[in-house]
Amino acid sequence: MASPVFDTHSVVRALHGVRSEWRAAQRRSSEPGGREFPSRDALAGIVESLKGVLFPMRLGPVDLRQESEDFYVGYTLDAALHALLTQVRLELRLVDGVPAGTQPTQVVQQFALALPAIRRLLDSDVLAAFHGDPAARSVDEVLLCYPGVLAMVHHRLAHQLYRQGLPLLARIVAELAHSSTGIDIHPGASIGAGFFIDHGTGVVIGETTVIGERVRLYQNVTLGAKRFYTDAQGHLEKGQPRHPIVEDDVVIYAGATVLGRVTLGQGATIGGNVWVTQDVPRGAHVTQASARQEPRTVPESVLA
Amino acid sequence: MASPVFDTHSVVRALHGVRSEWRAAQRRSSEPGGREFPSRDALAGIVESLKGVLFPMRLGPVDLRQESEDFYVGYTLDAALHALLTQVRLELRLVDGVPAGTQPTQVVQQFALALPAIRRLLDSDVLAAFHGDPAARSVDEVLLCYPGVLAMVHHRLAHQLYRQGLPLLARIVAELAHSSTGIDIHPGASIGAGFFIDHGTGVVIGETTVIGERVRLYQNVTLGAKRFYTDAQGHLEKGQPRHPIVEDDVVIYAGATVLGRVTLGQGATIGGNVWVTQDVPRGAHVTQASARQEPRTVPESVLA
Amino acid sequence: MASPVFDTHSVVRALHGVRSEWRAAQRRSSEPGGREFPSRDALAGIVESLKGVLFPMRLGPVDLRQESEDFYVGYTLDAALHALLTQVRLELRLVDGVPAGTQPTQVVQQFALALPAIRRLLDSDVLAAFHGDPAARSVDEVLLCYPGVLAMVHHRLAHQLYRQGLPLLARIVAELAHSSTGIDIHPGASIGAGFFIDHGTGVVIGETTVIGERVRLYQNVTLGAKRFYTDAQGHLEKGQPRHPIVEDDVVIYAGATVLGRVTLGQGATIGGNVWVTQDVPRGAHVTQASARQEPRTVPESVLA
Amino acid sequence: MASPVFDTHSVVRALHGVRSEWRAAQRRSSEPGGREFPSRDALAGIVESLKGVLFPMRLGPVDLRQESEDFYVGYTLDAALHALLTQVRLELRLVDGVPAGTQPTQVVQQFALALPAIRRLLDSDVLAAFHGDPAARSVDEVLLCYPGVLAMVHHRLAHQLYRQGLPLLARIVAELAHSSTGIDIHPGASIGAGFFIDHGTGVVIGETTVIGERVRLYQNVTLGAKRFYTDAQGHLEKGQPRHPIVEDDVVIYAGATVLGRVTLGQGATIGGNVWVTQDVPRGAHVTQASARQEPRTVPESVLA
Amino acid sequence: MASPVFDTHSVVRALHGVRSEWRAAQRRSSEPGGREFPSRDALAGIVESLKGVLFPMRLGPVDLRQESEDFYVGYTLDAALHALLTQVRLELRLVDGVPAGTQPTQVVQQFALALPAIRRLLDSDVLAAFHGDPAARSVDEVLLCYPGVLAMVHHRLAHQLYRQGLPLLARIVAELAHSSTGIDIHPGASIGAGFFIDHGTGVVIGETTVIGERVRLYQNVTLGAKRFYTDAQGHLEKGQPRHPIVEDDVVIYAGATVLGRVTLGQGATIGGNVWVTQDVPRGAHVTQASARQEPRTVPESVLA
Amino acid sequence: MASPVFDTHSVVRALHGVRSEWRAAQRRSSEPGGREFPSRDALAGIVESLKGVLFPMRLGPVDLRQESEDFYVGYTLDAALHALLTQVRLELRLVDGVPAGTQPTQVVQQFALALPAIRRLLDSDVLAAFHGDPAARSVDEVLLCYPGVLAMVHHRLAHQLYRQGLPLLARIVAELAHSSTGIDIHPGASIGAGFFIDHGTGVVIGETTVIGERVRLYQNVTLGAKRFYTDAQGHLEKGQPRHPIVEDDVVIYAGATVLGRVTLGQGATIGGNVWVTQDVPRGAHVTQASARQEPRTVPESVLA
């Protein structure tokens, strides 16, 4: 008898063995059962629907007409919320520390109620991009073309999920934007109205960052942590604020790196490629030249 | 009676309210009507078709055979041009300042006539990549695998649209490449033959940049503006040249930043991470060490 | 008679002319025939299948259940290997220098036999990411969300293809990850167990890089070549090791650039944005401040 | 030079020649231009949408919930009406004899207003099927499974289009049902409430047929014309009623053929395979045995 | 303000009204909630999977290879059974009279265990078709091309569902075949091995039909009921056997109609278009001529 | 340990056993290998392409314009012929008796050369339908809506395949039409120009039928065989002509059955439901009444 082209069976057995080792090491069940993990594809679909719900005439279906907007919004929202409910249940089931009595339906309802405020914030971001870029011709162009605006649509939805105790769903929503824009905003970051990232590739914004209103960033800016804080036993203290506070009207040019729980004062300007590890006063202009004057004593590990 | 799972209706109402506010603020019509904006999906389809038209045996359908190339090119081109015509009409309708008598069909016909020259330029880019990267094994590999080449296919099409007075369509075509390559070339940039970007993530090239022939760039290079020029009333002067001129045979290594309307002379080499805000003479080699010697007087805000 | 909307025929003729010129210049055949080049779409499908084969319950189909894992793995693996066989044949046909007697089926079988070891290495990468990021909540989250882990799944498959003499297939697999993560790892790079890239956008790792175990990298790190080595005749010597050696337990923070065949000694830490062109001793901490003290004599062209 | 595998070019030329002959014979334009004919695929999509509009919880999307019905109905209806508008315009443009001033939008609006009455009629058909078939377990099963009910959904929509002067759109809608059920009802046929066709394959109902309420038919029943009426010049008189009148509560068993403008009186029963070409009195039972007694004088050409 | 193109809102309201009337009349809940009805699309997918499970190398994926059959069968079967489980739960929930303790998983497991016997029966049907049609060239052609064989694949699956108390799922499976073949076999019909229907359009086989082994049928054959039996109160007695018994080796030619609980004796032949309402002895040949001699006393209502 | 939901493994084993029995009985190889059988899906795609090739402006893509017809036809034809070549190779490999030296490419080339004549014949069928149905409004409507015309498009392609020694491909093409129209024409039937089938459900036309020009048929007409001819050993003689000859200008009304190698003379009319087993003279009108007068001596087994 002819032999098969490939010895698939022995590879299957070997892979089975490696999986068993992993599960034993991870104390995972080897019992029958299905996958119980939120789905990236499902989240992607939900976010697409929510984009249409938030901006029906610009991000909804091309054949939508204004007189049917509410019909479309209502139907799409309801379907998206039920799809989200499934994912919320999956995340809550994974978590040990969920407060008893957390109702997935209440979580989703609360998320839905936040959407109008999110739309309002996104409108401010769109206007900021329009006013911040002399090349922009219309607010519609900004919403449709600018990766920085797309990243904020994802972030404002992800941040809401994060605040409601759904960090994994939030992370997936954020990574979807990261993959298509190169902009990596942790869902935990708190960002005020009128935020604008131009170009954007390589931007990293850490979990405990706090950003005020009307802030503007360029590509490759990092708002990171200097180091992780550990307690007396050397365990990471996860709750600690460790990323910058950026006050209103700050501008940070391309390639600048701001590390640690420093404060960039209102209206400050951080020049391109500058490295900042100390507070910057209100209205100051920091350049490579000026930055070089300052004493540098901390190890510059960048963590976001 | 049981109540619905989610109170969708009140969210729909609230979103309706926010949209109305936005439209009032933007002086948009609240009258019935459809969307009248170019479509990113439509443009993506058109670009895919044009890739096949330009390189039928490499980017066209896998089952294409050389003896049917012209059939394929003709059919695909005709369909793509009609699809483009629809998008051109949508952009021209948005614009106030279109010269009276601009015929969408003539615009598209002119675009079509430019395709052979675009193919010729792209051939030169492919050869430049092939010769510029010792790892490249064939010109076909370069066309299929190199993000820098893909970015140039988009750019040369986008630049033609830009020159024909279609900046929005041009921008959408550029952003499609930005999203999948991390390379952000403004459609306004003028780029000569034999251009090659290696690796490419994080590259930003501004609107009024002028690049000569046989220029080579690495990842994270920025060709940006120092500042925006404003007229006496403080209004941005949009037409002003504000990005670098890069002459023939220049090489710019990774992370270098060149700002403002400076000229990099023919054959100059800009080292990695170097910061350039002044003219560089022909054939010069600029490194971090040499750059540090020079006086730095301008604020280094990086704008592209 | 009315004339057609567009003069498609003359564009078709002109494009035909440009293609003929190119083929003549490239000494390509103008004879009838089909495309004979590996397909990016085919490779993308194969990699998707292999992800499911390697991690069936997390990257396989959502409705998969543990009791059917082996069925799924066997069926999917067999189909993927046959699809890969087609691509392997296409690449081997392109190559002049393939050792006589190289059997595509044996090449694919050898690839299949390497999968269990690849899974084991990827498990170590997942654990490294989980332990390296205080924000990570579970190993599953890491596998599903982290672009650095996705890049390693692609790299470990691509590296195996590269080692088996299939550099073009390897490159396509690597570029698929580059496009969606912004992380650009040459398939030739040799990387030990427990490797973790955080954030990742802008990372570039060159072909002859050698990385030990438990190494950690942040965004925008470049492990590149200082220059290409040429022999007496000025030809590039492609086989020459020209990228860094990174020993076990090294950490390299964001924006750092390491160039040339230098060695970063075991346990060394390279600070953010630091520029390294010389060996770093074991356990050393290199910062911008310390780096600036050292003499710099080499031109810093960064090549990866 | 190798020759192509197939001589496609000469076949293309020959087909071109045959098309030219056809167009010359049909006095069609050979000038450039696009297709201007309603689309079967478009109609299929519109009918699918209207099914969901009419029966949202049973034929709409599986994830629809009752509290969102009106949102779904409104959005889907609006999109379907605009899609229908495109098709209506295409049909009206083809027609010479359209009354001047016929507004496509008014035609579509009138169609929309008829939908609630159509739903009501279809409810009566569903109930008739449920009561007429002892195997039916629920009205939902009837709506989802019975080809006779599906055929009536199409017919009642097609008949409305037919009455509004859109015979071509009506025909396409009818043929879609014919193809999937084997039931061929001309859109011109007038059919009362509570109509039920069991099994249905092979049923043919002609254009001028008039059917009362609560009528029941089985498979392979033909309600056809005996012959076409011609005027003195031998031209077909198309307006002439030439198919049967079937009064309320008639039952017609499988394979029966009823030809010409005969009347089947209220409550009559026509047995299987019976051939009827004369009026049948109220309440009569016609069987093959009884039918055979009657004189037969007409040629039995069956035309529907 | 311009008015909308269509007055969609009033149509939505009117349709809402009609739905409410229907729900009130049907005593349906108007409370919020989702659809709880088996899905035709889901069943279609399950049947497609089961076809591949039963005949992997002929109806499975084109790229399947024999050495991977069991992998494919196992994976596909497991997924199909879980999908079926969902549908079984939906049907059982609809039913009032399900015996307490009926476990959906046990129902599905029992169904799975019946598959090998179903395959064996279908093999006998394939052979019967191959031997019964002189035009058939191979058993593979028969399985791939013959609508009569396709109808039997559906029927044997549907009959198993019917026997396990899932008449609605069974009906949907049967109607899928009816729609694509024109052959209408009630899932309740009991059919022995080696059954063959040639051409098939218009065949109707009723619920309580019992068919022996090696029976052959042609197009437009009806095996129906003469009338419905009613009890003293005039209610339909649904359990009553009311369709024919067809013994082994009977042949029934095109257009023949057999009505009521008559028995066609072993080896009998029923001629084309013959009408049979009485028992037929073993080995008899019934033709139109012979049939016409017999007294006919029953009304020939044909019901299946 | 929990047990799996379903005991899939034992079902897989049992199905494996049944397959092995079948293969042993059929003397099929149990050796590893792939499927080597023509694909229904592939044929469906090829026929769709050929429809567009034959009628580009009516059955081709909706966005096609007349000035690009030849481009479209050439590209689509070339791709369809190469796809057909794959299927031709598969069928020829299955056959033992293929004449040595039969070249698949020549077979396909010959098929291609026949397409213009097929288009001409189909034009005559379209005109026949247009003139034969008073309800038809235009030749375009006929081509788009009439199942009888669709069946002929398939038949004329299938007949060409049949004549070129590809009966299996021919059969698959015919069954695709059978499934969607209920019209079952054996690919072997020879049919002259100007053929029209109205309604069509249930029509069966046997393999050796010969039909002249301008013939018209209605639904449920059978042109079948009386019996199979067997030679002295009782073996079926497959080559024997056994179906009717229908001369020019014959009309056959619904439900008529014509059996055996009888000739319907030029211009004859066969009434509805008539049963014909003897020659019919030129111009004769056969009705049920007249038919009943004739002696009937043959057993009326209907075989097609």
| Residues C126-171 pLDDT 10s | 999 999 887 788 898 899 999 999 999 999 999 999 999 999 999 9
Structure tokens at F65: 């314009």
Least confident stretch, A51-65, A169-183, C31-45, E287-301: E287-301
**Nearest partner of C262 among D5, C250, C8, F222, judged by Cα:** C250
Record: contact F3-A30, CB cut-off 8 A: no
- Do F304 and F252 fall into the same domain? yes
Strands A216-217 and D257-259: unpaired
Burial of C220 (0-12, 13-18, 19+ CB in 10 A): buried
Distances, alpha carbon C54 to alpha carbons C74, C83, C136, in Å: 11, 17, 21
Q: What is the reported pLDDT for C298?
A: 38
F4: nearest CB among A2, A3, A32: A32
Record: contact C31-D2, CB cut-off 8 A: yes
pLDDT, one tens digit per residue, over A209-222 is 999 999 999 999 99
- Kindly list the residues from chain B whose CB atom is less than 8 angstroms away from the CB atom of residue F67: 78
Q: What stretch of H or E contains E292? A: helix E288-293
Q: What angle do CA F72, F76, F82 make, to 5 degrees?
A: 155
Boundaries of domain holding A137: 38-182
pLDDT, one tens digit per residue, over F250-294 is 999 999 999 999 999 999 999 888 889 999 999 999 987 676 554
SS3 A30: coil
Q: What is the reported pLDDT for A36?
A: 75
Q: Do the domain assignments include residue F32?
A: no
Q: Do the domain assignments include residue A31?
A: no
- Do E67 and E123 fall into the same domain? yes
- Do B42 and B143 fall into the same domain? yes
Record: contact E11-D77, CB cut-off 8 A: yes
- Do C159 and C204 fall into the same domain? no
Q: Are F63 and F57 in contact (CB under 8 A)?
A: no
Q: Do the domain assignments include residue E204?
A: yes
Task: Name the average pLDDT for chain C.
Answer: 88
Q: Do the domain assignments include residue D12?
A: no
For B98-135, letters b (16+ CB in 10 Å) and e give eeeeeebeebbbebbebbbebbebbbbbbbbbbebbbb
DSSP state of C39: -
A67: nearest CB among E4, E68, E71: E4
pLDDT band at A299 (very low <50, low <70, confident <90, very high): very low
pLDDT band at E238 (very low <50, low <70, confident <90, very high): low
Interface B:F, Cβ pairs < 8 A: 46
**Sequence-distant contacts of C40-43: CB under 8 A, at least 24 apart:** C40/B144, C40/B145, C40/C172, C40/C175, C40/C176, C41/B62, C42/C83, C42/C86, C42/C87, C43/C87, C43/C169, C43/C172, C43/C173, C43/C176
Mutate one of D125, D127, D141 to test the E interface: name it (highest E CB count within 10 A).
D141
What are the phi and psi torsion angles at F297 (to 5°)? -120, -15
F82: nearest CB among B65, B70, B78: B65
Strands F269-270 and C263-264: unpaired
What are the phi and psi torsion angles at C180 (to 5°)? -95, -10
Mutate one of E9, E15, E235, E297 to test the D interface: name it (highest D CB count within 10 A).
E15
pLDDT, one tens digit per residue, over A77-97 is 999 999 999 999 999 987 666
Record: contact C72-E67, CB cut-off 8 A: no
Q: Do the domain assignments include residue A20?
A: no
Q: Find the closest chain D residue to B79 by CA distance.
A: D34
What one-letter code names the amino acid at C107? V
d(CA E100, CA B124): 77
d(CA D174, CA D183): 9
- Nearest Cα of chain D lies from the Cα of C26 at a distance, in angstroms, of 18
**Contacts of residue C92, Cβ cutoff 8 Å, sequence gap at least 6:** C98, C102, C104, C107, C166
- We report the CATH number of the domain holding residue E264 as 2.160.10.10
F301: nearest CB among E144, E219, E271: E271
Q: What is the reported pLDDT for A30?
A: 64
User: Given a contact as 3+ CB pairs under 8 Å, which chains touch D?
Assistant: A, B, C, E, F
Residue E294 has pLDDT above 60, yes or no: no
Q: Do the domain assignments include residue B18?
A: no
Structural domain count, chain B: 2
E300: nearest CB among D123, D180, D271: D271
Structure tokens at E85: 């489980």
d(CA A113, CA F102): 72
- Nearest Cα of chain D lies from the Cα of F258 at a distance, in angstroms, of 16
- B245 beta partners: B210, B263
Mutate one of A1, A7, A9, A20 to test the F interface: name it (highest F CB count within 10 A).
A1
Q: What is the reported pLDDT for F96?
A: 62
d(CA D257, CA F272): 9
Task: Identify residues of E whose CB sits under 8 angstroms from chain A CBs.
Answer: 4-6, 8, 12, 34, 65, 67-68, 71, 82
**Contacts of residue A44, Cβ cutoff 8 Å, sequence gap at least 6:** A176
- Kindly list the residues from chain F whose CB atom is less than 8 angstroms away from the CB atom of residue E285: 299
- Kindly list the residues from chain A whose CB atom is less than 8 angstroms away from the CB atom of residue F1: 30-31
D31: nearest CB among C2, C32, C33: C2
Structure tokens at C243: 């990228």
- Do F51 and F176 fall into the same domain? yes
**Contacts of residue B1, Cβ cutoff 8 Å, sequence gap at least 6:** E30, E31
Record: contact C67-F12, CB cut-off 8 A: no
In terms of residues, how long is chain B?
304
Q: Find the closest chain D residue to C7 by CA distance.
A: D32
- Kindly list the residues from chain D whose CB atom is less than 8 angstroms away from the CB atom of residue E19: 56, 69, 119
- Do E49 and E168 fall into the same domain? yes
d(CA D89, CA D105): 9
Record: contact A8-C74, CB cut-off 8 A: yes
Q: What is the reported pLDDT for A284?
A: 96
- Do C291 and C215 fall into the same domain? yes
Q: Are E204 and E301 in contact (CB under 8 A)?
A: no
Q: What is the CA radius of gyration of chain E?
A: 23
d(CA A44, CA A91): 16
Between helix F147-163 and helix D167-181 the angle, nearest 10°, is: 60
pLDDT, one tens digit per residue, over C53-72 is 999 998 998 888 888 899 99
Q: What is the pTM of this model?
A: 0.91
Q: Find the closest chain A residue to E33 by CA distance.
A: A82
The tokens 């009561």 sit on which residue? D131
d(CA A63, CA A55): 14
Record: contact B81-C228, CB cut-off 8 A: no
Sign of CA dihedral C213, C218, C220, C221: negative
- Do C149 and C253 fall into the same domain? no
Record: contact A171-C69, CB cut-off 8 A: no
The tokens 């020029």 sit on which residue? B229
d(CA E31, CA E14): 19
Q: Are E238 and E256 in contact (CB under 8 A)?
A: no
- Do E152 and E194 fall into the same domain? no
- Do B73 and B177 fall into the same domain? yes
- We report the CATH number of the domain holding residue A169 as 1.10.3130.10
pLDDT, one tens digit per residue, over C225-272 is 886 555 666 555 666 899 999 999 999 999 999 999 999 999 999 988
pLDDT, one tens digit per residue, over E248-280 is 999 999 999 999 999 999 999 998 888 899 999
- Kindly list the residues from chain B whose CB atom is less than 8 angstroms away from the CB atom of residue C186: 135
Q: Do the domain assignments include residue C10?
A: no
Give the HSE-up count for residue F245: Cα atoms under 13 Å, Cβ half-sphere.
11
Mutate one of E23, E27, E35, E179 to test the D interface: name it (highest D CB count within 10 A).
E35
**Contacts of residue F40, Cβ cutoff 8 Å, sequence gap at least 6:** E144, E145, F172, F175, F176
User: Given a contact as 3+ CB pairs under 8 Å, which chains touch A?
Assistant: B, C, D, E, F
- Do F169 and F219 fall into the same domain? no
E63: nearest CB among C67, C74, C82: C82
Q: Do the domain assignments include residue F3?
A: no
In terms of residues, how long is chain F?
304
Q: What is the reported pLDDT for E31?
A: 65
Task: Identify residues of E whose CB sits under 8 angstroms from chain B CBs.
Answer: 1-5, 30-33
- Kindly list the residues from chain D whose CB atom is less than 8 angstroms away from the CB atom of residue C4: 32
What are the phi and psi torsion angles at C231 (to 5°)? -85, -175
What one-letter code names the amino acid at B30? S
Got the DSSP string for C170-235?
HHHHHHHHHHHHS-EE-TT-EE-SS-EESS-TT-EE-TT-EE-SS-EE-TT-EEEBSS--B-TTS-
Q: What is the reported pLDDT for F279?
A: 97
DSSP state of E18: H
The mean pLDDT value for A53-64 works out to 90
B32: nearest CB among E3, E30, E32: E3
- Kindly list the residues from chain F whose CB atom is less than 8 angstroms away from the CB atom of residue E134: 228, 236, 238
- Kindly list the residues from chain D whose CB atom is less than 8 angstroms away from the CB atom of residue A75: 68, 71-72, 74-76
Sign of CA dihedral E115, E118, E124, E129: negative
**Nearest partner of A93 among A51, A134, A34, A137, judged by Cα:** A34
For F266-302, letters b (16+ CB in 10 Å) and e give bbbbbbbbbbbbbebeeeeebbbeebeeeeeeebbbb
Structure tokens at C158: 């691509």
- Nearest Cα of chain D lies from the Cα of F121 at a distance, in angstroms, of 10
Q: Are E32 and B4 in contact (CB under 8 A)?
A: yes
- Nearest Cα of chain E lies from the Cα of F197 at a distance, in angstroms, of 16
Q: Are F271 and D301 in contact (CB under 8 A)?
A: yes
d(CA B11, CA A53): 10
Q: What is the reported pLDDT for E30?
A: 64
Record: contact B15-A181, CB cut-off 8 A: no
Structure tokens at A144: 């449709």
Residues with pLDDT less than 70, chain B: 1-3, 29-32, 95-100, 227-239, 289, 291-304
- Do D177 and D198 fall into the same domain? no
SS3 D245: strand
pLDDT, one tens digit per residue, over A118-159 is 999 999 999 999 998 877 888 988 998 999 999 999 999 999
**Sequence-distant contacts of A269-273: CB under 8 A, at least 24 apart:** A269/B299, A269/B301, A271/B299, A271/B300, A271/B301, A271/B302, A272/A218, A272/B257, A272/B259, A272/B275, A272/B300, A272/B301, A272/B302, A273/B257, A273/B275, A273/B300, A273/B302
Residues with pLDDT less than 70, chain D: 1-3, 29-32, 95-100, 227-239, 289, 291-304
